[in-house]
Amino acid sequence: MPSHFENNEPVLELDVLDAIENAATLLQTKPYTVALAGAGISKESGIPTFRGNDGLWTKNGEPPLDQYQRFIDDPLDWWHTRLVNSKGAFAQTLDNAAPNKGHTALAELEKLGILRHLITQNIDDLHRRAGHLSLTEIHGNRLWMRCIECGDRLPLDEFTYDPTLLPPRCTIGDCNGIIKSDTVMFGEPIPRAALAKSQVESAKAEVFMAIGTSALVYPAAAYPLEAIQNNKPLIEINPEVTQLSEYATIVVRAPSGTALPLIVERIRELNLVIQ
Ligand SMILES: [Zn+2]
């Protein structure tokens, strides 16, 4: 019995084990691999998703589609609300969340020289905390602040401002742009630097991975779809069927926290055999 069946690990169906073997075989040759990660990987750290049956927005209603325009119209109101609500229940859940085995395995795939860039839709900082380096947080990071004019970003714990002079303004050169949370709002353009990096890296990809993402939100969803159109192998890791599933070269129908560590373990075994 392989060691990964011990310690109460879930027993996987044979087709899932086959898919893990196929993914490891494809990745162990070290193709330039780019991944898109979605809410599914954060969900395994106890962070509720926005969409789906138990989604926060499904239960509580979606934020207004013109959320960003409302911010532009009245940034002072947003800042006042933030000062009151910054420790709401969702923020506390995020504060208490820790990276899971999926996050760690992705960081290991990076160290192995396989995963060259990770585009994440998650704002929760867990990829950074897992040690990931080449990372685009396409929807921002909740623990950073950003100037809406020049796009400069600063960790929240290094950010200081005068609460009597709201909204805070950018101090870089003569920018003077309004500062907001780095998290991208509804209706807000994706920051140019994040978009450019995602496009450049996706174009370089020889293999693309889609992990825990329903691939419904653009522009993030465009990257795996482009890979499909360009006949690049797509590995999907998701316990749920998505719109990518029928086009994926390899579908690992399992949670990322289960599948990714097994893929990494198998890559290491294959590399030992080759060496
Ligand atoms: Zn600025």
Residue 203 Cα to ligand 1 midpoint, Å, equals 29
Cβ atoms 80, 179 nearer than 8 A: no
pTM here? 0.90
Q: What is the pLDDT of residue 29?
A: 95
Query: What pLDDT, on the 0 to 100 scale, is given for residue 80?
Result: 87
Strand order from edge to edge, sheet including 179-181 = 153-155, 144-147, 179-181
Cβ 54 vs Cβ 46: under 8 Å: no
Q: Which residues are catalytic?
A: 139
Cβ–Cβ < 8 Å for 219, 119: no
pLDDT of the residue at 3 = 46
Name residues with Cβ closer than 5 Å to ligand 1, which is an ion.
Answer: 147, 149-150, 152, 170, 172, 175, 177
Give the type of residue at 203.
A
Q: How far is the CA of 231 from the centre of ligand 1 (A)?
A: 40
Predicted pLDDT of residue 112: 96
Q: Report pLDDT digits (tens) over 139-181.
A: 999 999 999 999 999 999 999 988 889 999 999 889 999 999 9
Q: 């009597």: which residue's tokens? A: 164
- CA 63–ligand 1 middle distance (angstroms): 26
Q: What stretches in the chain show pLDDT beneath 70?
A: 1-10, 51-54, 84-87, 273-275
The tokens 């993914």 sit on which residue? 23
Report the distance separating Cα 152 and Cα 142, nearest Å: 15
Alpha-carbon span 214 to 240, nearest angstrom: 8
Domains of the chain: 3-49+99-139+190-274 (3.40.50.1220)
pLDDT of residue 86: 62
Strand-strand pairing, 33-37 and 144-147: unpaired
C-alpha 35 – ligand 1 centre gap (Å): 30
Give tens-digit pLDDT for 53-78. 667 777 777 777 888 999 999 999 99
- Using an 8 Å Cβ cutoff, are 101 and 189 in contact? no
Residues in the chain: 275
Q: Closest Cα to residue 209, out of 185, 244, 254, 165?
A: 244
